[in-house]
Amino acid sequence: MIDFTSSNYLGLRHASRDLRPWAQLTSGVPAALAEPEAASILAADLARLVGTDAAVMATSTLHAFWDLFVVKASLAAAAAPGIALYLDAASYPISRWGVERAAGMGIPAMTVPHHDPQALHQILARRASSGLRPVMVADGLCPGCGRAAPVAGYLRVCRSFGGELVLDDTQPLGILGSPRAGTCYGQGGGGMARVSQQ
């Protein structure tokens, strides 16, 4: 399996003389203290590509998953018993690390069979008495088997138990779906949100 945690798989190697000159290397403000100027423009472009009303930019997928489940658990605990995480067995390491961090902080988490909404339904039915809101975590496109996630099935199961689906759409965003109505599957990008609209 290709290690997507490094950008080297894209062939992003070049000598400094190959880059255009710049007047200023950084904005002068630490990234943690200010959002880059282009972030809101990029977020709006991303929302249009995916077909949603809005999008939010994160420092990286790892940072997003590192914080997401802990924040979700905190918000859920304020109004309800909390959440339980269910991770697709073939999930890419980035989302897995986020779930493992949450589990280390006491949030219940378990792995479920790969691309199997029926198995997820059976597991959630057995655990329904816990009162915890289920959050299913999966990749939009499995880098191991090359198949798209059964998003409609996962959503149906999660919603029937009052839960939600968190989908890492990083891989299929640029290769699956279509931002233009009437074009073929796989042209233009947009990810699983666009695929599910077709």
Global pTM value = 0.76
Instruction: Indicate the domain borders of the chain.
Output: 60-171
Whole-number percent of the chain with pLDDT over 90 = 39
Number of Cβ atoms within 10 Å of the Cβ of 67? 15
Q: Please provide the CATH number assigned to the domain covering 60-171.
A: 3.40.640.10
Return the closest-CA partner of residue 135 out of 186, 77, 73: 73
29 has a pLDDT exceeding 70: yes
Measured from the Cβ of residue 62, the count of other Cβ atoms closer than 10 Å reads: 15
**Most confident segment among 34-38, 92-96, 114-118:** 114-118
Q: Are residues 93 and 2 in contact, defined by beta-carbon separation less than 8 angstroms?
A: no
Per-residue pLDDT reduced to its tens digit, 32-43: 788 887 888 999
- Distance (Å, whole) CA 164 – CA 148: 18
Q: What's the rounded Cα separation, in Å, for the pair 50 and 169?
A: 10
Q: Return d(Cα 133, Cα 117) in angstroms, integer.
A: 17
CA-CA distance, 67 to 56, in Å (whole number)? 14
* Element housing 65 (H / E): helix 61-79
What one-character DSSP code corresponds to residue 149? Answer: P
